[in-house]
Copies of this chain bind each other. A is one copy, B any other.
Amino acid sequence: MPVTNTAFDLDQVRRQCARCDLRDLCLPAGLDNDDVDRVDQMVADRTGLAVGDVLYHAGSPFRALYVIKSGALKTQAVSEGGELQVLGFHLPGEILGFDALATERHQCTAEALEPSSVCRLPYSELERICSAVPGLQRQFMRLVSRDVGDDHDHVAMMGRNQAISRLALFLHSLSKRQARLGRSPEQLTLSMSRSDLANYLGLVLETVSRLFGRLQEMGLIEVRRREIKILDMAGLKEVGDC
């Protein structure tokens, strides 16, 4: 038992994972209580981010991974020619920073789209504990694998040559991710601007705006600024498949 200010605070700090809503989606999933506490102790800190705050910059040295506890972030990379590409929108339970491992430097910039909080996992610690706790190793891999799968979905979406399919696919997949978090799959609150979304989809913002209009005319969704209500999930999925 390490010594700190008050025993009361200690318990609060140390048992956050056990009480976190995301424990079944996040690293502790499937672990027993003792191992959850070891994960808890590994978490260096839980940082709050305001809208626009940057968690890490492309090019900065890699030290830790992050798991999103609440809020939403985007990741984006800038090419040498200055072209920007939004790589992903990330929700609670997702892991960030993994692409930095190969080069020891972050390959993209992670920025908060909403007030958010993230759990910082120093990589050296994570490696050490993963070796000791097989279940953690496995769950960690699962999170990374899910991330790879999301990237593949992104590519598949950008491969569609009908722009409306891309938007429909995006809304459908966002809906599924929301549902995974226990939120309503019909009522979406987009945390990103039209511009970010357009870039993510490989379109321009005017096109995205028009397509929201068209999907609304088709009776598939209801749009009011960044509030989207999905009226016809099956229809949306159909549009997604060209």
Q: Which residues of A are at the interface with B, using a C-beta cutoff of 8 A?
A: 77, 79-83, 85, 87, 98-103, 107-108, 127, 130-132, 134, 137-138, 141-149, 151-152, 154-156, 158-161, 199, 202, 237-238, 240-242
Known: A102-B146, A158-B159. A152 touches B241 (CB 8 A): no
A158 touches B87 (CB 8 A): no
Bound-complex Cα distance A121 to B100 (A): 24
- The contact sample of 13 A-B pairs, CB cut-off 8 A, is A77-B152, A79-B240, A83-B156, A83-B159, A98-B144, A101-B142, A101-B144, A102-B142, A127-B134, A131-B131, A131-B137, A155-B155, A159-B199
How many angstroms from the CA of A161 to the CA of B205 in the assembled complex?
13
Find chain B residues with CB under 8 A from A79 CB: 156, 240-241
A107→B152 contact, CB < 8 A: yes
Instruction: Assess whether A85 is in contact with B156, with CB atoms less than 8 Å apart.
Output: yes
Tally of this chain's copies: 2
Interface of A is mostly: helix
Return chain B residues, CB-CB under 8 Å to A100. 145
**Cβ–Cβ contact A98 & B159, under 8 A:** no
Q: Which residue of B lies closest to A134 (CB)?
A: B131
Measured CA separation A238–B82 after assembly (Å): 11
Residue A161 contacts which of B107, B143, B161, B202 (CB distance < 8 angstroms)? B202
- In the bound complex, how far is the Cα of B107 from the Cα of A100, in angstroms? 24
